[in-house]
């Protein structure tokens, strides 16, 4: 057994239960876990601190490359770590979209060495997509069945079937934007979120599930940003994984009408939102995904019909959920399961739990410190947040593979984030800059308690 460089000591969530434990850390992983771990420098945390596994966001749009005025990998991953997220999975509708080896190689080159948390990249399923060539280097494939940001819609059943067969052969998961594009009203003017909801009805999502049902036995399918309890139940009945974004849980089109809340799929009516919230709190969805989709405030402040769809959320989602856990609205173990363990395991990351052999990723909270979200203190380039003014518990300390990225609530680390699906085979990444590493001696970067 490798001797630990450092031992983190405190109240930890292990196997769904909070208890005192000591975690030995060596070479970026948890090498020992128990009531007493010897060796290395001991880092004693006060009993007010709660140690959770770092969170995993399976759905972000960091806009890099091609739309860096909206967000880039540095600002997006800084926002992530400040929200307790230690790994993000980035969607492929950048510019150019990731639909082939060349675009994937260029994107990996563009973001390497600039991430403050670990990451993986999706590729988009599109006609002619070289699935078998892309599979070793991506966290999964994204299927856009409904029109949204980026021109990578795939709405032909025959083409979808061919690509799903190829994905099944390589065993990779498929995350789906499940809106049937033929059920969306295109070219119909919109002036508010209620109009947007009218043009993108729930039936578009349910129709997409019916079209996907033929693949339920052959493919691993994750339904992104479910907007209704009915959709979650239908997807679950097909054996699909389900992902929920907080904006669909918190906002409805009747009360929140401006383009700041315009998103695809849309926020729904109050009754649908209430039912979704109840299902979410009951743990009926599998995962939390922020669908962090930043645009600038200027872009979102124009005419509703012309404003882009998307809401930033990677820095605020976990802290809001932690406030709910602190108030008893949702069990802490459920928050960790839905926003850490399940996405990590579904997409094959060595994260998501405080266990021997897992990455030494920790998000440490003082659960007594509930604050109001101050938009001016957030780190996304978006420059605004629809969650401003809501209560949240932000992490005090965030550690990624033993390296401290957040201390006393402020970003403090280097861009140590690693591509979790680099797999340097052949020539795909030839010429990439070296990925960020981690300090050899963890004890020099772990927080020293007051």
Can you give the C-alpha Rg of the chain in angstroms?
Answer: 21
Tokens of 442: 């963890």
Q: In the structure, what pLDDT confidence band is assigned to residue 376 with cuts at 50, 70 and 90?
A: very high
Spatial CB neighbours of 440, under 8 Å, sequence gap ≥ 6: none
Of 273, 268, 130, give the one whose Cα is nearest residue 202: 268
Mean pLDDT of 185-210: 97
Question: Can you say whether the dihedral through the CA atoms of 265, 388, 87, 293 is positive or negative?
Answer: positive
Give the tokens for residue 22: 């000591």
CA atoms of 120 and 90, how far apart (whole Å): 6
**Any idea what DSSP says for residue 301?**
T
Annotate 378-404 with b (16+ C-beta within 10 A) or e (fewer): bbbbbebbbbeebbbbbbbbbbbbbbb
Q: What is the pLDDT of residues 263-315, one digit of tens each?
A: 999 999 999 999 999 999 999 999 999 999 999 999 999 999 999 999 999 99
**Average pLDDT score over residue span 145-156:** 82
What's residue 149's pLDDT?
66
Position 445 pLDDT exceeds 90: no
Count helices and strands in the chain by DSSP H and E runs: 13, 19
Tell me the C-alpha distance between 145 and 208, whole Å. 7
Q: List pLDDT tens digits, range 55-90.
A: 999 999 999 999 999 999 999 999 999 999 999 999
Task: List, for residues 205-249, the tens digit of each pLDDT value.
Answer: 999 999 999 999 999 999 999 999 999 999 999 999 999 999 999
Q: What is the pLDDT of residue 441?
A: 33
362-366 vs 397-400, strand pairing mode = antiparallel
Question: Which residues have a catalytic role annotated?
Answer: 291
pLDDT of residue 425: 39
pLDDT at 444 over 80: no
* Helix (H/G/I), strand (E/B), else coil: 336: helix
Query: Would you say 313 and 247 are in contact if contact means Cβ atoms under 8 Å apart?
Result: yes
Contact at 8 Å (CB) between 412 and 405? yes
What mean pLDDT do residues 24-40 have? 95
Measuring CA to CA, which residue among 101, 164, 106 is closest to residue 133?
Answer: 101
Phi and psi, residue 121, nearest 5°: -120, 135
Return the number of other C-beta atoms located less than 10 Å from residue 218's C-beta.
Answer: 12
Q: Six-digit token pair at 27? A: 């070479």
Structure tokens at 446: 């772990």
- In the predicted model, is pLDDT for residue 126 greater than 80? yes
Q: In this structure, what token pair is assigned to residue 303? A: 């005419």
Tell me how far apart the alpha carbons of residues 32 and 27 are, in angstroms, rounded to a whole number: 12
pLDDT of residue 218: 97
Assess whether pLDDT exceeds 80 at residue 379: yes
Alpha carbon distances (Å) from 115 to 71, 354, 420, 447: 12, 23, 12, 21
Residues making up the chain, counted from first to last: 450
pTM of the model: 0.94
pLDDT the model gives residue 265? 97
* CA end-to-end span of the chain: 31
Rounded mean pLDDT of 41-60? 95
Q: What pLDDT does 147 receive?
A: 78
Per-residue pLDDT band at 431 (split at 50, 70, 90): very low
| Paired tokens of 346 | 């579904």
Query: Which one, of 250, 276, 275, lies nearest residue 386 by Cα?
Result: 250
Give pLDDT, residue 242: 98
Give the rounded percent of residues in the chain with a pLDDT score beyond 90.
90
Q: How far apart are CA 302 and CA 433, in angstroms?
A: 39
* Average pLDDT value for the chain: 93
What is the per-residue pLDDT across 140-150, written as a single tens digit (0 to 9) for each?
Answer: 999 999 877 65
Residues 312-369 have pLDDT tens digits of 999 999 999 999 999 999 999 999 999 999 999 999 999 999 999 999 999 999 999 9
Give the residue among 250, 232, 230, 229 at the shortest CA–CA distance from 240.
232
For the chain, percent of residues with pLDDT exceeding 70: 93
Phi and psi torsions of 337, nearest 5°: -65, -45
pLDDT at 1: 63
* CA 129 vs CA 63, 97, 154, 263: distances in Å: 21, 12, 11, 27
């Amino acid at each position: 057994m490798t001797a630990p460089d450092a031992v983190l000591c405190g109240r930890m969530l292990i196997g769904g239960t909070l208890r005192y434990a000591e975690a030995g850390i060596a070479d970026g992983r948890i090498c020992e876990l128990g009531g007493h771990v010897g060796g290395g420098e001991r880092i004693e945390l006060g009993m007010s601190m709660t140690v959770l596994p770092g969170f995993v966001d399976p759905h972000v749009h960091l806009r890099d490359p091609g739309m860096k005025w909206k967000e880039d990998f540095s600002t997006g991953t800084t926002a992530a770590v400040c929200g307790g997220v230690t790994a993000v999975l980035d969607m492929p509708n950048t510019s150019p979209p990731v639909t082939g080896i060349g675009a994937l190689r260029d994107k990996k080159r563009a973001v390497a060495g600039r991430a403050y948390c670990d990451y993986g990249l999706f590729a988009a399923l599109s006609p002619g997509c070289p699935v078998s060539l892309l599979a070793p280097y991506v966290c999964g494939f994204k299927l856009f069945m409904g029109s949204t940001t980026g021109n990578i819609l795939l709405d032909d059943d025959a083409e979808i079937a061919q690509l799903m067969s190829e994905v099944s052969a390589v065993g990779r998961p498929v995350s789906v934007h499940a809106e049937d594009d033929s059920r969306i009203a295109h070219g119909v003017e919109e002036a508010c979120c209620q109009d947007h909801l009218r043009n993108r009805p729930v039936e578009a999502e349910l129709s997409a599930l019916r079209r996907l049902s033929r693949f339920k036995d052959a493919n691993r399918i994750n339904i992104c940003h479910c907007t209704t309890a009915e959709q979650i139940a239908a997807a679950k009945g097909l054996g699909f994984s389900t992902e929920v974004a907080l904006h669909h849980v918190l906002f409805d089109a009747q009360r929140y009408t401006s383009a700041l809340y315009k998103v695809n799929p849309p926020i729904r009516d109050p009754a649908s939102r209430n039912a979704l919230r109840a299902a979410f709190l009951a743990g009926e969805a599998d995962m939390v995904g922020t669908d962090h989709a930043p645009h600038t405030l200027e872009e979102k402040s124009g005419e509703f019909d012309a404003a882009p769809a998307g809401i930033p959320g990677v820095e605020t989602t976990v802290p809001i959920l932690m406030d709910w856990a602190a108030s008893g609205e949702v069990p802490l173990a459920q928050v960790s399961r839905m926003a850490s363990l399940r996405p990590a395991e579904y997409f094959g990351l060595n994260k998501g739990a405080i266990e021997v052999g897992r990455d030494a990723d920790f998000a440490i909270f003082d659960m007594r410190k509930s604050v109001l979200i101050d938009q001016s203190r957030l780190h996304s380039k978006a420059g605004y947040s629809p969650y401003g003014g809501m209560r949240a518990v932000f992490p005090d300390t965030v550690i990624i593979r033993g390296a401290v990225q957040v201390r006393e609530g402020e970003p403090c680390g280097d861009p140590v984030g690693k591509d979790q699906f680099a797999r340097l085979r052949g020539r795909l990444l030839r010429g990439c800059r070296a990925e960020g590493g981690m300090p050899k001696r963890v004890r020099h970067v772990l927080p020293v308690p007051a």
